[in-house]
Amino acid sequence: MSNGNPTSSAPWWHDFKNVMHLLAWLLNALQVIVWTIVVVTRGGDVPQPLPPIQDNPLVVQTGGQGWVNDPDAVNAAMPLIEALQGMPAEYGRIARDTLADDDDRSVFFWDAEQKVLRKVIGSWDQGAVGTCVSFAYARGVQDVMLLQIADGAAEQWPGDEVATEPIYALSRVEVGGGRIRGDGSVGAWAAQAVQKFGVLFRKKYLNGKYDLSTYDGALSRRWGAPGKGLPDDLEPFTREHPVKTVALVQTGAELWAALGNKYPTAVCSNVGFEGRPPSDGIMEPRGEWGHAMLYRGRFIHPTKGKCVVIQNSWGKYLGPRIKVETKDRGTVELPEGCFAVRLSVAERMLRARDTFALSGVVGFPRKLEWPVQHREKRGADALFAGFDLAR
């Protein structure tokens, strides 16, 4: 007589735990098979999945990415950039002298924010839209403007930050020809956009017809759609504020020199930095991001050597502001959304060959009340002038 309880002869698949264990085993076996195929076809060792670091759980990515890796587009852009600025488009050719003449001092671009604005600007947040390239270039252009003013240029801060939506639209449509479906852009296209067309700011234009006061991801997508682009009646405003010089940065030495000479550098790469920063604030590569960010400073760490500072565009995802140790300035607090990496790691990011240094933005002239004696500057207003052009 049955008592209503399952008998020992019940099929094994009725046990939920058994089914879950089987599924886990199958997924693991599938992962091994896929990696084996990759190794056989490409060569190399089977990469092992990285387990979560003890007491350092992974950060769940909530921000968008959006870099499109298109080497052909970069190659096609180089002669156009060179023709527009009348000089080579590679940093190593434009500014060769800076590679040798360097005191290796710490340089942090937000010092200019503090000097000009009396504050450090927080992290921008692109949300879930793949507009990272426009964020990197907009923040880079803004850094150039502030560095010029802090170094004594006869300009004034306009009172509004640089807008990202126009750069996104111009890079994808006017420069890129509307070839991308979905989100994203190419770094070289954004470099061309800010150089050929210029930038707009976070304010209203044409009596409120266009309101760029706050970031609008949906507007980025509308303007960046194939066949759309930046409205024609806004282009005259962008052309008032172009970037004069952009230069492809390809090595760690070039990046170190560019940052030392106050040239913000927008980086596009597939190198990811998942997880929370370690206690020293210097992150190591983990995962893959098709992403653009901005190099905003450099320093020498007492034990890890040359390091650079990266500004991300995911708001406060890193939590409290990170502190790093430097040889010449002691403990330095990085801006919101920033972390540091070793220069050798940054050089790995440069291998994607879509990273550009920015110099010389046409800003907002200020009225001089008395003559100012000209002084030679080593900074963002130098426009690579005086450097040996190894043509």
Judge whether 307 lies within some domain.
yes
* Cα 47 to Cα 305: distance, rounded to the nearest angstrom: 28
Burial class (CB in 10 A: 0-12, 13-18, 19+), 78: middle
Indicate which CATH number applies to the domain containing 141.
3.90.70.10
pLDDT tens digits for 154-181? 889 999 999 999 999 999 999 999 999 8
Q: How confident is the model at residue 96 (pLDDT cuts 50, 70, 90)?
A: confident
Judge whether 27 lies within some domain.
no
Domain count, the chain: 1
Judge whether 332 lies within some domain.
yes
Sequence-ordered list of residues with C-beta below 8 angstroms from that of 38, at least 6 positions apart, any chain: none
Q: Is the pLDDT of residue 275 over 80?
A: yes
Share of the chain above pLDDT 70, in %: 77
Judge whether 246 lies within some domain.
yes
Judge whether 105 lies within some domain.
yes
Question: Cα torsion at 91, 176, 314, 161 (round to 10°)?
Answer: 80
Judge whether 128 lies within some domain.
yes
Provide the pLDDT for residue 49. 36
Taking each continuous run of H as one helix and of E as one strand, the counts in the chain are 12, 13
Q: Is the pLDDT of residue 3 over 50?
A: no
pTM: 0.80
Domain that holds residue 183: 71-365
pLDDT tens digits for 169-222? 999 999 999 999 899 999 999 999 999 999 999 999 999 999 999 999 999 999
3-state secondary structure of 330: strand
**Plot region of 389 (φ>0 → left; ψ -120 to 50 → alpha; else → beta):** beta
Judge whether 29 lies within some domain.
no
pLDDT tens digits for 329-388? 999 999 999 999 999 999 999 999 999 999 998 877 764 444 444 334 444 445 454 343
Q: How far apart are the first and last CA of the chain?
A: 97
Q: Is the pLDDT of residue 50 over 80?
A: no
Judge whether 76 lies within some domain.
yes
Per-chain mean pLDDT for the chain: 84
